[in-house]
Amino acid sequence: MGTKRIRTLIVDDSAVVRKVLTERLSQDPEIEVVGSAMDPYVARDKIRELNPDVLTLDIEMPRMDGLTFLRILMKHHPLPVIVISSLTKEGSSKSLEALQAGAVDVLPKSGGSFSVCLDTAVLAEMIKAAAHARLHPNALPSAAPAGRTMQASSSPGATAVARRYRPRQIILMGASTGGTEALREILTRLPADVPGICIVQHIPPVFSLAFAERLNQLCQFQVREAKHADLVQPGLALVAPGGYHMVLKWDGTHHRVELNQGPMVHHQRPAVDMLFSSAARAVSSAHALAVLCTGMGSDGAAGMKELRDAGAETVAQNEETCVVFGMPREAIRNGSAQYVLPLETIATHINSYASRMAQVGLVPISR
């Protein structure tokens, strides 16, 4: 007997999109398109009838929008969902809401709501990853209160006891499928006085800006999309822009990030391995903490091995709390993961690491 094919239901109000996606996805021997639906009401009946393994969901539909349907679905019939959204600022914002509501991944499309301008090969890989995803809807409590308890002072701009760091001190983070929510859970639990943070999340262009802006609203420190030659400094997290690799360079006194559109690595740009490998060359052995979170594939494992061999501290998210246990699993397999931790304790580990590495003194804390 062959491998069971992944039963997939396509939900889109465009008959053209449904037809094209059905034809293209059906060419993959691992995927079986069992049906399609023109709106959430038809989709509800098709889910009951066909029992799909994975759902693709257009976020912009009449009668009921995809985001509303997703929230209802995750409450009453949790199912791996890949959201398809427009490459606009509004589409990016809705996509992040969908990921927070429980969607496994998001795929952008250019053009209008009836466009078929999306990468069906990428969609097929997303469907395969989603079929093995662990759903953790609302699994963790709100992180903001925990983060606030760590802050040295709640008065904006006030002088307070805060941690200072050597210029080489840095925190590196990488994630893919399920990573936007995992990173949110970690970062919102950290205090304002953290070392500089560099983040690679597999995410499309435009979406990365919305992701950084959303984190900036939630975190105690500044978060923004990285620009070429940005200085890495305490109290700042830089998110790699979609479509660009982000690498670290030491300029003699500080770390700076460089962005490039070099070849994809592990079919990704940005790639975690590019950041981690560059850091292994730029960072003194005892001055980096690398964290690898949920995601399909193996991106980040090789770079983490370079960091570990150079003496950096390394953390991989454990299988039980990953949406997709691919990247962390490979880091564990190659021996580069010094610690394997559940998602809810990673922020505590990072904060403890920062305290161990810090020099305490009286300095202003400002957002």
Residue 262 Cα distances to 206, 249, 267, angstroms: 19, 16, 12
Q: Write down the catalytic residue from 28, 136, 299, 336.
A: 299
Tell me the CATH number for domain 144-364.
3.40.50.180
pLDDT at 202 over 70: yes
Mean pLDDT, the chain, rounded, equals: 88
Q: Write down the catalytic residue from 95, 176, 208, 277.
A: 176
For residues 259, 263, 267 and 270, what is the CA-based torsion angle, rounded to 10 degrees? 0
For residues 277, 281, 284 and 286, what is the CA-based torsion angle, rounded to 10 degrees? 20
Q: Is 342 helix (H, G, I), strand (E, B) or coil?
A: coil
Q: Active site includes 273?
A: no
Residue 324, both tokens: 């997709």
Q: Write down the catalytic residue from 202, 245, 255, 266.
A: 202
Q: Active site includes 58?
A: no
pLDDT for position 128: 95
| Structure confidence at residue 147 as a pLDDT band (50, 70, 90) | very low
Domain boundaries, the chain: 6-131, 144-364
> Helices (DSSP H) in the chain: which residue ranges?
15-25, 40-50, 66-76, 89-101, 120-131, 144-150, 179-187, 207-218, 272-282, 301-309, 327-333, 343-357
Lowest mean pLDDT among 107-111, 128-132, 278-282, 342-346: 107-111
Residue at token pair 């660009």 = 244
Residue 238 Cα distances to 36, 159, 193, angstroms: 40, 25, 15
| Structure confidence at residue 146 as a pLDDT band (50, 70, 90) | very low
Most confident of 86-95, 133-142, 305-314: 305-314
Distance linking the first and last C-alpha atoms of the chain:
59
Rounded Cα–Cα distance for residues 226 and 293 (Å): 20
Please identify, in words, the CATH class of the domain defined by 6-131: alpha beta
pTM of the model as a whole: 0.88
Q: Active site includes 266?
A: no
